[in-house]
Structure 1
């Protein structure tokens, strides 16, 4: 799962959750995929070696490989989103770091905080939010629908555990 609960430090009752987008193609796989793609695209060019048609097709094939490289690099850049949530008996703190490095934060008293899930009507199915301190913020919008459902029950459990230690 692209999120992980960190165990509390000894003597601490703070729960920490880190969330990040799932990437099915790791960085090492990127190099292999690009090499394989370039090799597969060049196979049809071998019969054209020594002809003028090769030079007519080559720029378009090179453009296709460059476009694929650019799209995957851009996808990696957009995947640098990170959310960190800490829950203790007194407060909840959510920090979101966007792909460009912009940091947004939200704080709320854990007693008044609510976890809400909107099965429909949100930007994604089973839209997950935290509400409190006069604001409602989304959490884990980049997760899959099943992951948001699982996270919802885990957040409810951690929030009730934090309230019980008050």
Structure 2
């Protein structure tokens, strides 16, 4: 889910199920309310970058005046009024602000039974570089634009 001041949407990357009736209802809600975004993307944890970039592109197109963006995972609940209060805090008033949990020097998971499994042929390194992780990321619109520009010029892992 992406949450913005005065602009919010639930984002599905890929189809949530093979149920054609559910697809029809989701498409209808997306058309009628504009609060639902569905874009094609393979499921799984190894392609979180393309899914996140797709969500940021949606924000740029549909919410160009938004000041701050919070991306939360599907299993996370937030209190919208407390989020608004948090947005008003002094530290977040900076034009370029990014807050996330940073994973430092994490091992690449090689266990095929893990949902985070990454085959060595897909990523030969034994450790990840530092990266934002966790259930949420909060940033200003300016930072999001910088991330989108960077995403357009660098290659990411296979999707």
Q: TM-score, normalised by structure 2?
A: 0.23
**The structure with more radius of gyration:** 1
RCO (CA 8 Å, sep 6+): is it higher in 1 or 2?
Answer: 2
Whichever structure has more helix as a proportion of its residues is 1
What's the TM-score, normalizing by structure 1?
A: 0.23
